[in-house]
Amino acid sequence: MKLLKRTLLIITISLASTLQAQNTENENKSSLDKESYYQKRAKEDAKYEQEFSAKTKEEEKQFWKDQKAYEKNLKKKDKKAYKAYMQGKKDAYAEHYNECNHHCHHSDHYYSHASFYYYRYNDYYYERSPRSRSINTNVRVNTPSVKLGLF
């Protein structure tokens, strides 16, 4: 009787561990699918942003505001998906940076947001404005101090 109970216990434990391993494998697979989906979505969004041309300043401002709201909501809802999305955006912006020279005409809003996704855009964005050629020099004049003491 003891042998039968032990055998059933061993079989039950091995079946439970096998089922748990299969569930973990399925969860990992769905996690990878979710990550690849959000990376692909981010690359599509980045391409749309790079080609976006607003008719008015207000329309452009609203577009970028909506985009930031989407990212903020995704971060609240699912951090893994947000990380995958942001990585996809960074990759897409880095790729576009290498292809985009002075022939691309992006708005100031674009460069402002692009610098968030890819750090090298920061330099490009600020190079667009003329640099000042003034030199600042600080001159400091100290007067000698005299101390008097009584003995």
Q: What is the pLDDT of residues 89-148, one digit of tens each?
A: 888 888 887 777 666 777 777 777 777 776 655 544 444 445 556 677 777 777 777 777
Provide the 10 A C-beta neighbour count for residue 19: 10
Domain residue ranges in the chain: 34-99+106-122
> What is the value of pTM for the model shown?
0.57
Provide the 10 A C-beta neighbour count for residue 60: 17
40-65 mean pLDDT: 86
Measured distance CA(89)–CA(82) in Å, rounded: 10
Q: Which residue has the higher pLDDT, 50 or 126?
A: 50
Q: Which residue has the higher pLDDT, 140 or 72?
A: 72
Measured distance CA(103)–CA(63) in Å, rounded: 23
21 band by pLDDT with thresholds 50, 70 and 90: low
Q: Which residue has the higher pLDDT, 79 or 103?
A: 79
Question: Which ranges constitute the DSSP H helices of 1-151?
Answer: 2-51, 57-77, 79-99, 108-117, 120-127
Rg (CA), the chain: 30
pLDDT at 22: 57
Report which of 140, 114, 138, 117 is spatially closest to residue 125, judged by C-alpha positions.
Answer: 114
Residues 6+ apart with CB under 8 A from 19: none
% of the chain with per-residue pLDDT over 70: 69
Q: Is the pLDDT of residue 66 over 80?
A: yes
Chain mean pLDDT for the chain: 75
